[in-house]
Amino acid sequence: MRTYRYFLLLFWIGQPYSTFSAPLPQRTSGFPTRKRALEPSGNSKNELSRSKRSWMWNQFFLLEEYTGSDYQYVGKLHSDQDRGDGSLKYILSGDGAGDLFIINENTGDIQATRRLDREEKPVYILRAQAINRRTGRPVEPESEFVIKIHDINDNEPIFTKEVYTATVPEMSDVGTFVVQVTATDADDPTYGNSAKVVYSILQGQPYFSVESETGIIKTALLNMDRENKEQYQVVIQAKDMGGQMGGLSGTTTVNITLTDVNDNPPRFPQSTYQFKTPESSPPGTPIGRIKASDADVGENAEIEYSFTEGEGMDMFEVITDQETQEGIITVKKLLDFEKKKVYNLKVEASNPHVEPRFLYLGPFKDSATVRITVEDMDEPPVFSKLAYVLQIKEDTQINTTIGSVTAQDPDAARNPVKYSVDRHTDMDRIFNIDSGNGSIFTSKLLDRETVLWHNITVIATEINNPKQSSRVPLYIKVLDVNDNAPEFAEFYETFVCEKAKADQLIQTLRAIDKDDPYSGHQFSFALAPEAGSGSNFTIQDNKDNTAGILTRKNGYNRHEMSTYLLPVVISDNDYPVQSSTGTVTVRVCACDHHGNMQSCHAEALVHPTGLSTGALIAILLCIVTLLVTVVLFAALRRQRKKEPLIISKEDIRDNIVSYNDEGGGEEDTQAFDIGTLRNPEAIEDSKLRRDIVPEALFLPRRTPTARDNTDVRDFINQRLKENDTDPTAPPYDSLATYAYEGTGSVADSLSSLESVTTDGDQDYDYLSDWGPRFKKLADMYGGVDSDKDS
């Protein structure tokens, strides 16, 4: 039963305590009942009465931050088994035992060896035991007790941030929330007021205030204007002890920025702006910049510019530069000094983002006057149209005028203008233009089927200032004329079966036409007149630009006629009517019973009548005999002995032969052939000399054929070199002299030496057409035929 009571005591001691002055419940031991008193340290002098208890003590309290030089007395432990004879020994264990807390083992006095800080550790749990010094056995079971550190105000409040940053819109109402600051105190909040913090403002009045308990900072002044002052620095103090005298305090800085609201309208710094621009400025050219000032910032300072009234609202426009918030005035349409020289406009600047609660301050926009002066410039000619479109028929004759273009100088001087065609757009020079009046005319024939549209550029240039020029596109459409005959869409070659029936369709014909009539193509098909009634086929016009070839009879014989050529006339219905004749090839073929072609070749017919077998053998024998005779005759000629020119040495003598032959002139065609010189391809094979017996027969050498354009001199030199190096050339000297005049005559050669290379006589009647200078030649050569006839 005693052990059970000890466990109850240990459990109770381990629970948390709600107050520092509550006594421990009494504990009954098995020892005789006696009253003992425990003297606690400090001001605690209360006595606890207990019956039959071995240990007696209070919960110990110890002030933190002890500043004395001696050890701080904590309390005394005493057992009712201690008779004061020194037989018991007190032992201390637990948190800080032997180091932070020491005990007198004889008396049980507990002391703290150094200064304690409640913020580091508020409670220490220790265990005490009394043992017999001689036997070492415990006389009391180990018991647990608590030392609790009493708090003193030794920590000042500390803010969670050293510096706070906050923003609040300008012109806010009084009491508008800005930011909340928070300070913490490390002292015990359950003991006294050491941790009770109160906030106050040291700097920042009268603009801001702070709630003492919550630390919430609010605006305290109405209509604070950012444009007057944007940054505020507020100092907040936090003081413990409820703000009473002697409390510790801490401070923090709050930097507050007023954010912008749109409470300022834009304002032009001047009421009138003047700009100048040349009349040649193209659309989009900037003329000048205007700027309205706005005290606000960000999107509240964004400005939109616009023209609200004036003479040239359609000639100019103003846009906003988003980076500089300036209004850029640009040209919207082409200007003309001769039409208007000065424009007066009213420009307005406004805020796109307006807050309704500030509309009472007035309209958030401003206006100014813009005066724009147009400067005169020397301008290029201006065409009457931006582009010209002309039409012309493709059969139009050359130098036909098809239209005109017009341009004039827009300046007051009205300088004259000349016209020209940009030849980069008309490389073939098909069109030309009158430089004075701009009339367009053709310089070549046109063909719509080749080029349908001609896109050229016409240039107008000031005569007095050629640098001033302008261009205009000219589109010329070539209109169709029926100048092309229709023709077959493809080459037609078909077949007809031998067993075909009459009026059977064997082929469908289609035609095409390069022309493009307005009402569309309408072709008609018919057999050519020469193939009229005697034709074995007919043409059926389907009236849809197609036609069919039909058989006219039953059955065809490919042995009698294997191929038919069918001429078909194709005509169009345009004006003038154009037609052409196309030929369709029809082959007669053998077909199966389904009409599929099998064979289109005519087999050779074998007739029973003819020559007898004996007659054929006789003819063959005659041919063989004739061939044998010819072969023998040739062999005998090859075996014939050579006959020497000189029979014996005694017959050697000198022979002088005088020819004195000057040749027969143009009549002599045996001396040499000048045609061979002009036409090397016509040269004949080399021939052997007829005045001597050759020593041996050599095959003639093949000389390379000269080119058609080879000069006669080069040809002669080439042949001379070949004969000098030819071992088979006859061994005699031959001297021939040719007069050579060279080439290059425009009238070509009039010599008749080349006439031998022609197949027939030439007609020289054209010489009489050359005039009186060639009359003599015309009489000479024109009478040749009459002389021959006579």
Determine the residue type at 619: I
**Out of 124-138, 405-419, 653-667, least confident range:** 653-667
pLDDT tens sequence across 477-499:
999 888 888 999 999 999 999 88
Residue-level pLDDT at 529: 86
Q: Collapse the DSSP code of 33 into the 3-class scheme (helix H, G, I; strand E, B; otherwise coil) and give the result.
A: coil
Q: Binning pLDDT at 50, 70 and 90, where does residue 40 land?
A: very low
Residue-level pLDDT at 359: 77
pLDDT of residue 39 exceeding 60, the answer is: no
Average pLDDT over residues 77-102: 84
- Most confident stretch, 157-161, 529-533, 694-698: 157-161
CA distance 634 to 427: 74
Q: Binning pLDDT at 50, 70 and 90, where does residue 178 land?
A: very high
**Total Cβ atoms within 10 A of residue 529:** 9
Q: What is the pTM of this model?
A: 0.41
Average pLDDT over residues 83-105: 85
Determine the residue type at 755: S
The share of the chain scoring above pLDDT 70, in percent, equals 76
| More confident: 11 or 650 | 650
Side-chain-facing half-sphere of 239: CA atoms under 13 Å: 12
> Distance from first CA to last CA of the chain, Å, rounded?
185
Q: Collapse the DSSP code of 460 into the 3-class scheme (helix H, G, I; strand E, B; otherwise coil) and give the result.
A: strand
Task: Please answer whether residues 28 and 52 qualify as being in contact, where contact means their C-beta atoms are separated by less than 8 angstroms.
Answer: yes
pLDDT of residue 262 exceeding 80, the answer is: yes
CA distance 611 to 356: 132
Average pLDDT over residues 345-367: 86
| More confident: 410 or 614 | 410
What distance lies between CA 90 and its chain's CA centroid?
96
Residue-level pLDDT at 337: 86
Task: Please answer whether residues 192 and 225 qualify as being in contact, where contact means their C-beta atoms are separated by less than 8 angstroms.
Answer: no
pLDDT tens sequence across 625-657:
999 999 988 888 877 654 454 444 444 445 565
pLDDT of residue 606 exceeding 50, the answer is: no
Mean pLDDT (the chain) is 78
CA distance 451 to 445: 11
Average pLDDT over residues 580-589: 92
Task: Please answer whether residues 217 and 178 qualify as being in contact, where contact means their C-beta atoms are separated by less than 8 angstroms.
Answer: yes
Average pLDDT over residues 308-335: 91
Pairing relation of β-strands 546-551 and 505-512? Answer: antiparallel
Q: Binning pLDDT at 50, 70 and 90, where does residue 81 land?
A: confident
- Most confident stretch, 54-58, 614-618, 649-653, 726-730: 614-618
pLDDT tens sequence across 454-476:
999 999 999 988 999 999 999 99
Task: Please answer whether residues 406 and 433 qualify as being in contact, where contact means their C-beta atoms are separated by less than 8 angstroms.
Answer: no
| More confident: 150 or 254 | 254
Q: Binning pLDDT at 50, 70 and 90, where does residue 550 land?
A: very high
CA distance 760 to 755: 8
Number of separate helices (H) and strands (E) present in the chain: 6, 41
pLDDT tens sequence across 687-743:
444 444 444 444 445 555 555 555 677 878 887 787 777 776 665 555 555 555 555
Q: Binning pLDDT at 50, 70 and 90, where does residue 759 land?
A: very low
